[in-house]
Amino acid sequence: MLAERLKRVKHSCVILCLLPLLLIGCAGSDDTPTLPIKHWGDIEVTVETRPPKVKVGMVEFVVITATKGVKPTNELVVSLRMEGREKWHQAIQDGFLGVYRRVVNVRDPAKDVLAVKLRVKRTDDEKILYFPLAQQKTRTETAQ
């Protein structure tokens, strides 16, 4: 009975030691496509997509905003649309982490341009940034 318990503890320790390595393997790599980072004053705006490579159909856009690239910017109202279409879609703020999410229909990943409208809540300052979907590249492609 003691031998079985020791065997289970040993197996649990092995699994716990391997788990971080498995999680690191699941993290984004240099081959995860990204759109170029844009700036508005000292706010850095990063856009990620789900699925990672943009395709025709409904795509979730995750807008990440950070002041000086470090501190989350959560005093914004973020809206998205494909350029050339009239209707803006307000993104949902994901906590106070400077993360905003919205699903938008993509018709042609090679030609569509994502427009991201940022509005500061207290001052009503506003800026529209443009992210051509065709510029989505992996870090290794960008380095070449």
Segment 70-88 shows an average pLDDT of 92
Please report which confidence band the pLDDT of residue 19 belongs to, taking 50, 70 and 90 as the band edges.
Answer: very low
Burial environment of residue 108 by CB neighbours within 10 A (0 to 12, 13 to 18, 19 or more): exposed
CB atoms within 10 A of CB 17: 9
Of 130, 136, 125, 132, give the one whose Cα is nearest residue 41.
125
Residue 115 has pLDDT above 90, yes or no: yes
CA pair distance 76, 120, nearest whole angstrom: 5
Taking the CA atoms of residue 26, residue 39, residue 112 and residue 61 in that order, the dihedral angle to the nearest 10 degrees is: 40
Residue 36 preceded by cis peptide, ω within 30: no
Mean model confidence pLDDT for the chain: 84
119 domain-assigned: yes
Give CB contacts under 8 A, 24+ apart, made by 65-70. Answer: 65/98, 65/99, 65/100, 65/118, 66/98, 67/42, 67/43, 68/42, 68/44, 69/44
120 domain-assigned: yes
Q: How many domains does the chain have?
A: 1
7 domain-assigned: no
Could you tell me the two tokens for 83? 């350029």
CATH classification of the domain holding 42: 2.60.40.10
Residues facing residue 139 across a β-bridge: none
User: Where in the sequence is the domain holding 88, given as residue range(s)?
Assistant: 38-143
Please report which confidence band the pLDDT of residue 9 belongs to, taking 50, 70 and 90 as the band edges.
Answer: low
54 domain-assigned: yes
32 domain-assigned: no
